[in-house]
Amino acid sequence: MPERRVVITGMGVISPIGLNKEEFWSSLLAGCSGIKEIDRFPTDNFPTKIAAQVKDFQIVDYVSRRDARRMDLFVQFACAAARIAVEDAALTINDENRTRTGVWIASGIGGIGTLESQHHAFMKKGVNGISPFFIPMMIPNMAAGQVSIMLGAMGPNGCTVTACASASHSIGEAFQAIRDNKADVMITGGAEASITPLGIGGFCAMKALSTANDDPSRACKPFDRKRDGFVMGEGAGVLVLEEMEHALERGATIHAELIGYGSSADACHMVQPDPDGKGAALAFRNALAQAGLEPQDIDYINAHGTGTTLNDQIETAVVKEVFASHSNNLPISSTKWAHGHMLGAAGAVELIATVMALIHDTIPPTMNLNDPDPLCDLDYVPNQPRQQALKVAISDSLGFGGHNAALIVRKLG
């Protein structure tokens, strides 16, 4: 039996720099940052006062007001991005295909905003103050659950929770479901809404966040010597994956083909990447092996590129290890300077940026890279987008717990 090929036919983005893929992409190329002062809660006692918040989002544009009241913000983001992606794919889900259409949407943290508000209600009123919707609003799998309810998709349904690699792993698992003939269509990605007092406070306590509060748009500086931590983002990215013949038969527009997925563990530390990068390198190699490619076949890497000291240095070392001499000619960029670190949504939004790069033969820039770290000495496409013919690209994600994922996409034609 011939191998089932998987293509991307729809993409939906809800982000701090745009509420669809076109706005998102235009903002990246224009160097527009969504990082600003937090206006959702007082930050007087917080060392970090900045984040990349989603603006001008109206959930009632995507679901009913009644349904929205029963969703945490991360689920609202997921439902909106999924509806946009399905519309982009011109996909109709009906009785004929619903059992072969699945949903696999991640969240790294889940409904932390709901958790905080319900804890407050509990402390004020006791057990009688807790909403009956507290648990189903909070649990991370509810993005996938609510999207399947909204769309009527009855195929494989789940949520892979691997911190900052959650979306990439979920996309990889959805890809495998189609390859293994468990589904013909998978709606997949990630969503996160952790810009809350406890969310920001927790990462402040780890000293993981940038404190460059005086200049928010320049706070996230991947690969720069002066980087001082990541900036929290929020939103969702959802893609429609489809078996190629299924897509061709219905006349779908194919944005790219997903051809490789690699997953691995550092088996090293709770939050710090393996200093030797062995786990991340293994994820890259596993993805290349599944795609049947050599390192020199890759034209562009969309890096995890958080703007933290260890991540950027180790990711650079991993690229050198895996791609050897080709690493000197391989353009790499991180887009977190614009949308922040979207945690469990990051891998999906960054894969969409990678696919857009293939479509437009344009590499998005790494902004705020003015004083490169000597240990980060590769081609990071600093401060300006670059026109370049692209055929194959890879996006990687590295999560707390040592979870690593890499996804390879190819332009058709």
Q: Could you tell me how many residues make up the chain?
A: 413
Task: Check if 304 is active-site.
Answer: yes
Q: Is 164 a catalytic residue?
A: yes
If we measure between CA atoms, which residue out of 78, 74, 136 comes closest to residue 105?
78
Say which residues have a Cβ less than 8 Å from residue 172's Cβ, sequence separation at least 6: 261, 262, 263, 405, 407
| Residue 35: strand pairing partners | 52
User: Which residue is catalytic, options 169, 255, 304, 403?
Assistant: 304
Closest to 13 in 3D by CA, of 27, 3, 24: 24
Q: Taking Cα atoms as reference points, which of 366, 360, 410, 352 lies closest to residue 389?
A: 360
Of the candidates 79, 159, 164, 220, the residue annotated as catalytic is 164
Cα 94 versus chain centre, distance: 28
Sign of CA dihedral 268, 235, 360, 408: positive
Give the pair of three-digit tokens for residue 319.
């690229």
Options 246, 255, 341, 403, the catalytic residue? 341
Report the Cα 59 to chain-centroid distance in Å. Answer: 20
Distance between alpha carbon 203 and the CA centroid of its chain, in Å?
18
Whether 220 is catalytic: no
Q: Can you tell me the distance from the alpha carbon of 235 to that of 107, in angstroms, rounded to the nearest whole number?
A: 10
In a 3-state reduction of DSSP, which class is residue 358?
Answer: helix
Catalytic residue set: 164, 304, 341
